[in-house]
Amino acid sequence: MQADRSSELHVCFKRSYDAVLKHHHSFVVRSVVSVAIRAVPRRNDFYDRIAEGGSVEKLDTELARWLQGLEKIVKRMSTFLRDGGHGRV
């Protein structure tokens, strides 16, 4: 989502949901999620709101830093779970 700035949020959310959670849900839940995803605001509107009047470029920079940190945490947790025989993420 962060790398493809031209893609709208609902498209990114749909791709992610389909890849990660869809196969765990029943038809009813999938239908509810589909409606919820359609209610997601446009990307520019969302970024403007969470920037709270600040620079969207600064928000992008800070978000990229945050995502790098999150990636490190996920890698550590994945290694811990795999090496401990607790499953794969």
Q: Is residue 84 part of a domain?
A: yes
Q: For position 1, what pLDDT does the model report?
A: 64
pTM score, whole prediction: 0.71
Residue numbers of the chain with a pLDDT score lower than 70: 1
Please tell me the predicted confidence (pLDDT) of residue 10: 94
Examine residue 5 and state whether it is found in any structural domain, yes or no: yes
Range of the domain at 2: 1-40
Which of 53, 89, 52 is CA-nearest to residue 71?
Answer: 89
Alpha helices by DSSP H, listed for the chain, are 9-20, 27-38, 43-51, 56-83
Residue 47 domain-assigned (yes or no): no
pLDDT on residue 4: 76
Long-range contacts of 17-22 (CB under 8 A, 24+ apart): none
Q: What pLDDT is recorded for position 89?
A: 77
- pLDDT reported for residue 25: 97
Structural domain contains residue 66: yes
Number of domains in the chain: 2
